Chains A and B, each alone.
Chain A
């Protein structure tokens, strides 16, 4: 970045720009609906479509299917999740080997979590080891997972290994599966609202580099925690 002179943006100009952005309540409603659908808030989405008088963007039942899979993963029932995914659309796992590996890995983690060491070993040898040969990436992940057995709840366990047992790991797997399913239905794989925030983060960072903004220009200036905390 050449050290350009920073542009000066006046508050009035910025307000005008904010004002010039075209957005209606309907637009924002759609954005919210998209979030509810993608993130799987089925009953909220139903309520919203009634209350805001919007057409359902998708079959709300499809949300439920997706959420059942997600819940299965969150409670550690990987087998159930795999069955459900295949019921929904067998191509999802067939065409996505790394996702399938991720699920198998999660299954192994759940065996270890429950202390079913014998089952874990058998599963690893029969199902995961052959896949580990397919790609170095899989192999590394398999080794990381197997390390769980070596440490077995010892306080020495490095965090890179112990985090596999965390709830967050389950959530991550669930999120990946969710995204894959959404993609298979050619829906966006993440809520547009999240994309909007990404765009904003991208833009704010660049703008900070290039321009002197009045305080009001930066999102930080509106303490929007005030929204809810009083």
Chain B
């Protein structure tokens, strides 16, 4: 550890004799800080002087690894088309004047209808036009205030930004859907209106506290993982070495259309400053070949499930066939959407719908100035629907967006025609949320009628393709007859799943009860031959009694072919040992845990080059420090009592007392007790199994043992005080010398995870009450860390026995969640309506 020297040098050490004497006793970089601090600062002060040079103390670290990272530490990855749409959002902000066709960035496209109009009129045009229209269309509910982008918006005032529309909250992939590019996405989280932020908050609230959050990868909770999560945080800037894979998955951001594209339009169309209005500024087109169309700035992610936007017709010429719909990015813009392959449109003049060629069909009513036309795509069926002034017009087209990306697209043909789009920044006329919910329920209902194929899930014999087909046929036939799935067959694997889960987490009593109940049911089933006389009732009772009386459930009296509860769980031995170990860790009795592990699961300690042992020893150190802090607090308390009664307490008294403790420390030396192990002698190098074999004193018992030592001093109060002080000295010393051993033992371990964990562990020393200190320190010292370590050890033991590190139930859950996400990204719209958490956890 090369950084050590400089770090210790950087620690501001209070100039006092105490410190010096301590330093001479324990020449370790980490050790000087705690002692004077504990002695000098009576109440939990701040940590200013004892920041051990931890470079990054992120307060929310562990929380972010498990779920927040996907959205919060996000990197902008515009999906699909490369540069065009992604940039479209920013340039207009800085060149707001470029809105007319003449100054268009795509001057090369110069069709016949490109107008010779005066650029000077163009910037002011949108507003004048729309306000003129407003008087004509009393129907319009679109408030005038929206015509001008609100100046209060974050960033550049001309960026028309808004939170993700509420109806998209129904998508299971909502956290990936964004209305703003990455930098503002992060800024977003501070805005109360941000859906992304609020939905995340809600979850954080319902989730367990950070430290108990459930990391899937073992390395995530192990020291190696610590360095790992630092690298995750770092992902926010440059992509890590893993490359595209990581970037693609965790940080996926799918941009939603938010405005009409500045680039992706014919020059005949002008876009308003806020990106919502399109005005046909060119001369009216003649003939079918000449039209003007524009697309929105981003493709619609199928992960939306349903995407919807509305268009208000601000001004339509009598003959104008305004077309509203969708189109693929490569479709010519000189044609109305619906007339070209891979575009779909609903036309104002005749109410026809065109599915990508000139042969349309009658679809809905015609529409005109003042009407609000809604246009939605349902990716779960790849069909489109329209609304007119809030009324649903029905679904139309097929296979929309199945093979290409699609964009909102509008086409017009007459001079001065104009429309205003609502991409979700203001309320919709149509009750889109209701519609989406109804669709979601339908899709979900469908998914929930999927037959559970146990062989697909790796349960039971793997079936051949033919067998599976045959079963499907049979199942379909049964469904027609209204027959329910065979209960017992489907329940057996489920029971196994649940039982394995209970055993994994050490819910021993529950597991036993469950096993007993399962055995009862199995017995009941086995005893019921198809046709049986009525006496079976009594038989049943007998069997039940027998099962109940059986001492161990493992001796299942009725082995059933259908379902045989596995006797190999050995609840009483295996599970109980594992429970005792984890419980000991949870209580902070690391030595107990260590000796149990070395007795029953010695290989666990050697796993991952002794990582588990390392973690346990670090925890032991933390426990020792905590005990020392506790002992010191007792001393102070006693002092306060003493000072409170006979003479007023001099303010310096704690410090004096501290000095007292430290001063005498040398004398007591490597004292007493009970630490015959190499622990007390940092120099002697220690074998890996050292601390396990050594019957180190119980941390907690040390102070009490000391306090019972009789003291020569006179009054009982002083007597007690002295005893307490001695106890404090002892435990402090034990802690520090253990720390030295730890440091010495792992000096040569260069694994970054180990180094980082060691550093954090030693950081605990800097606080007299680490748990009260909050933040990262409390996280390391607190109960949650014990629990996490217990879980980790539990996992390691299970792994050492060849059992999975995670209960199958958890893997199944994750598998389901990952499946849904993956499908959503592959363009399967139904996946947006399969929300694993909402359906199975929160609902």
Contacts and interface: CB of A to CB of B under 8 A. Distances in A.
Interface in A202-219: 202-207, 210-211, 217-219
A51 B534 contact: no
Contact of A32 (B488, B502, B516, B525): B502
A20 B821 contact: yes
Contacts of B818: 14, 17-18, 20-21, 217
Interface stretch (A89-97, A124-132, A166-174): A166-174
A201 B534 contact: no
B213 A17 contact: no
Chain A CB count within 10 A is highest, among B246, B530, B568, B816, for: B816
A48 B819 contact: no
B402 A25 contact: no
A117 interface: no
Contacts of B487: 168, 171-172, 174-175
Given A4-B403, A195-B839, A19 B510 contact: no
Nearest to A41: B517
Contacts of A56: none
Contact of B500 (A10, A12, A227): A227
Given A43-B517, A199-B834, A224 B804 contact: yes
A192 interface: yes
Contact of B457 (A39, A51, A201): A201
Interface of B is mostly: helix
Contacts of A147: none
Contacts of B507: 47-48, 51-52
A27 B531 CA distance: 43
Interface string A27-54: 1101110011001010110111011100
A229 interface: yes
Contacts, number: 281
Interface in A45-70: 46-48, 50-52
A43 B245 CA distance: 47
Contacts of B537: 75
Given A172-B483, A193-B497, A222-B458, A198 B452 contact: yes
A136 interface: no
B813 A23 contact: yes
Interface string B498-524: 111110010111101110110000001
B249 interface: yes
Nearest to A22: B67
A186 interface: no
A194 interface: yes
A172 B496 CA distance: 21
B836 interface: yes
Task: Report, as a range, how many residues of chain B touch the other chain.
Answer: 35 or more
Interface in B445-477: 447-453, 456-459, 462
A13 interface: yes
Given A195-B839, A201-B453, A220 B458 contact: yes
A210 B819 CA distance: 11
Contacts of A28: 501, 807, 809-810, 813
B95 interface: no
Contacts of A17: 249, 817-818, 821-822
Nearest to B242: A12
Given A175-B484, A219-B815, A203 B834 contact: yes
Candidate in B207, B452, B496, B505 with the most chain A CB atoms within 10 angstroms: B452
Contacts of A27: 813, 837, 841
Interface residues of A, number: 88
Interface in B207-226: 207-208, 212-217, 220
B509 A202 contact: no
User: Main SS of the interface on chain A?
Assistant: helix
Contact of B456 (A24, A171, A219, A229): A219
B403 A2 contact: yes
Given A4-B403, A74-B524, A210-B826, A196 B513 contact: no
B203 interface: yes
Nearest to A113: B531
A142 B249 CA distance: 56
Contacts of A26: 208
B804 A18 contact: no
Contact of B816 (A24, A52, A75, A203): A203
A22 B203 contact: yes
Contact of B484 (A166, A176, A199): A176
Nearest to A190: B448
B840 A228 contact: no
B491 interface: yes
Interface string B228-266: 000000000000001001101110000000000000000
Given A165-B530, A222-B811, A229 B819 contact: no
B566 interface: yes
Contact of A194 (B452, B533, B540): B452
A154 interface: no
A172 B249 CA distance: 43
Nearest to A178: B487
A9 interface: yes
Contact of B486 (A19, A25, A171): A171
Contacts of B839: 192, 195, 199
A3 to B, nearest CB: 10
A15 interface: yes
Contact of B528 (A10, A74, A211): A74
A230 interface: yes
B70 to A, nearest CB: 5
Nearest to B813: A23
Given A32-B498, A35-B498, A211-B826, A21 B813 contact: yes
Contact of A47 (B482, B496, B513, B524): B513
Contacts of A43: 513, 516-517
Interface string A106-147: 000000011000000000000000000000010000000000
B168 to A, nearest CB: 19
B536 interface: yes
Given A168-B486, A224-B808, 14 more contacts: A2-B403, A14-B822, A18-B811, A21-B817, A28-B809, A46-B513, A48-B513, A75-B528, A113-B532, A197-B812, A200-B457, A204-B456, A210-B826, A228-B499
18 contacts: A2-B399, A2-B402, A2-B403, A16-B250, A23-B214, A36-B514, A167-B525, A172-B486, A193-B497, A195-B839, A197-B452, A199-B839, A200-B815, A207-B823, A211-B822, A222-B811, A226-B804, A228-B499
Interface of A: 2, 4, 7, 9-10, 12-28, 30-32, 35-36, 39, 41, 43-44, 46-48, 50-52, 71, 74-76, 113-114, 137, 153, 165-168, 170-172, 174-176, 191-207, 210-211, 217-230
Instruction: Please list the 7 inter-chain residue pairs (A to B) with the smallest Cβ-Cβ separation, ordered nearest first.
Output: A203-B819, A21-B817, A17-B818, A228-B566, A22-B67, A220-B458, A171-B487
